[in-house]
Chains A and B, each alone.
Chain A
Amino acid sequence: MAATEADIQALEAAAGLSASRPGDPANVIEFRAVTKRYEGGDTGVEDISFCVRRGEFVFLVGSTGSGKSTLMRLLIKELEPTKGHLHVAGRDLAQIDRKKVPYYRRNVGVVFQDFKLLPNRTVHDNVAYALQVTGSSRKEIRAKVPDILRLTGLSTKLHNFPDQLSGGEQQRVSVARAFVNHPPLLLADEPTGNLDPETSIGIMQLLYRINRTGTTVIVATHDSHMVDRMRRRVIELRKGRIIRDEATGRYAPRDLSTAEFGALMREPAPEPRRVREPFDDFDDAFRD
Chain B
Amino acid sequence: MKVGFFLREALRSMGRNAVPSFAAMASVLVTVLVLGVFIPVVQATTGAANDVRNRVLVNVYLKTSAKQPDVQRVRQLLTSRVAHVGKLQYVSKEQAYAEQKRRFPDAYQLLGSNPLPDTFRVTPDKPDNALKLRDALSPSTPGGGRTTIDPAIDSVRNSKDDTQKILVATKVVKLTTGLLAVLLVVASILLVSNTIRLSMFSRRREVEVMKLVGATDWFIRWPFVIEGVVLGALGGALAILLLLVGKIALLDPLTAQFSLLAAPNTIHFGMLVAVLLAAAVGVSAAGSGLSLRRFLRV
List residues of chain A with CB under 8 Å of any chain B CB. 76, 78, 99, 102-103, 105-106, 110, 112, 116-120, 129-130, 132-135, 137-138, 177
**How far, in whole Å, are A110 and B211 apart by their CA atoms in the complex?**
12
The answer to whether B1 touches A76 (Cβ under 8 A) is no
The answer to whether B12 touches A102 (Cβ under 8 A) is no
Contacts A103-B214, A105-B214: A133 and B219 contacting too (C-beta < 8 A)? Answer: yes
Contacts A102-B215, A120-B17, A133-B213: A78 and B206 contacting too (C-beta < 8 A)? Answer: no
**How far, in whole Å, are A137 and B216 apart by their CA atoms in the complex?**
17
Question: Mask for B210-249, Cβ within 8 A of A = 1, else 0?
Answer: 1111111101000000000000000000000000000000
Chain B, interface size category, equals 20 to 34
Q: Is B107 an interface residue (CB 8 A)?
A: no
Q: How far is the CB of B186 from chain A (nearest CB, A)?
A: 33
Partner of A116, one of B2, B17, B209: B209
The answer to whether B214 touches A102 (Cβ under 8 A) is yes
Partner of B214, one of A112, A120, A134: A134
Q: How far is the CB of B271 from chain A (nearest CB, A)?
A: 40
**How far, in whole Å, are A129 and B206 apart by their CA atoms in the complex?**
12
**How far, in whole Å, are A134 and B2 apart by their CA atoms in the complex?**
11
Give every chain B residue within 8 A of A76 (Cβ-Cβ).
Answer: 212
**How far, in whole Å, are A232 and B115 apart by their CA atoms in the complex?**
121
Give every chain B residue within 8 A of A103 (Cβ-Cβ).
Answer: 214, 216
What total of A-B pairs shows CB separation below 8 Å?
A: 50
Q: Which 6 pairs between the two chains have the least Cβ-Cβ distance? A: A106-B214, A105-B214, A120-B16, A133-B215, A116-B209, A102-B216
Contacts A132-B5, A133-B219, A137-B1: A118 and B212 contacting too (C-beta < 8 A)? Answer: no
Tell me whether chain A's interface is mostly helix, strand or loop, or mixed. Answer: loop
Question: Mask for B187-207, Cβ within 8 A of A = 1, else 0?
Answer: 000000000000000000010
List residues of chain B with CB under 8 Å of any chain A CB. 1-2, 5, 12-13, 16-17, 206, 208-217, 219, 298
Contacts A120-B16, A133-B219: A78 and B213 contacting too (C-beta < 8 A)? Answer: no
**How far, in whole Å, are A106 and B125 apart by their CA atoms in the complex?**
69
The answer to whether B214 touches A119 (Cβ under 8 A) is no
Contacts A118-B206, A119-B206, A137-B1: A130 and B13 contacting too (C-beta < 8 A)? Answer: no
The answer to whether B211 touches A120 (Cβ under 8 A) is no
**How far, in whole Å, are A177 and B213 apart by their CA atoms in the complex?**
9
Contacts A119-B206, A120-B12, A120-B206: A129 and B213 contacting too (C-beta < 8 A)? Answer: yes
Q: How far is the CB of B23 from chain A (nearest CB, A)?
A: 17
Q: How far is the CB of A28 from chain B (nearest CB, A)?
A: 18
**How far, in whole Å, are A119 and B217 apart by their CA atoms in the complex?**
19
Contacts A78-B298, A120-B17, A133-B210 known; list 17 others, CB within 8 Å: A76-B212, A99-B216, A105-B211, A105-B213, A110-B213, A116-B208, A116-B209, A116-B212, A118-B209, A119-B206, A120-B12, A129-B213, A132-B5, A133-B216, A134-B214, A138-B1, A177-B213
